[in-house]
Structure 1
Amino acid sequence: MIFMDQEVFLLAPKCRLSCYKKNTTAYEHLLKENQCLTIRNPSLGENRQKVKYVHSSFKINLNENTIVEQSAEPVGAEWGFDFSPFESVVEDPDNDGKSFKSPIDVIGFVVKCLPSEEKTENNNGKDEKKATFILEDLQHQQIYVTLWGVYADQIIEFQREHKDEKNVVVVVQFGKYRFWGGNLFVSNLYTVTRVFINTEIPEILEFKRSFLAQMNTSTSSGYSGLSSPVMKSMAEEYLSDISFSTIGALTGISEEKFVIILGTIKSFASEDSWFYNACKTCNKKVFTNTISKAKEDCSEGYDEVTVLECQTDRCNKRTVVSVPRIKLLIRVQDCTGIVTLTLFEREVVKLLNVNANQLLDNNMELASEGNFPSELRALINRRFAFKIAICSFNINKKLDGYSVSKLTENPSIIKDLDAHFDVYQAADDEPLGPHASDPTPIVNVNIQDSVSRVVDEDTPMSNLNNSIFTTPSGAHISCSSKMLDNELKRNLEAVYDV
Structure 2
Amino acid sequence: MASSSAASELKLSFIADLNPEKDLWNMRARVVKKWRSKYWLDFILIDEKGVKIQAVLKQHLIPLFEHQLEEDNVVLISKFGVGTNTGPFKVIDHVYKINFYRCTTVQPAHGWEGVEYGFNFIPFPQIVSGVANQLLTVDVCYAQQFSDFIAGVPSTERVVAVILHGRVKPWKGELQVQTDKFATRIFLNQEINEINDLRRRFLLKFSETNASSSQIVLSSEIVYPLREEFVVACPRKHVDEITDTKTPTTCVVVATIKMIQEKHGWFYAGCRKCGKKVLSKQEFLEKYGDLTEEILKVPANGLICPKCKCECQSITTKFMVQVRVQDETGSVSFVLFDTHVARIVGVSATEVRERQVDENQTESFPHEMMRLLDKKLAFKIEVTDYNLKNDYYVYTVLKVCDDPDILAELTGAVGSGDEDVLSVTADSSVVVAEIHESLTPSGKRTSVEDESLNVGELSCTSKRSRKKASKFPE
* Same fold at TM > 0.5: no
Based on CA coordinates, which of the two structures has the bigger radius of gyration?
1
Using the size of structure 2 for normalisation, the TM-score is 0.43
Using the size of structure 1 for normalisation, the TM-score is 0.41
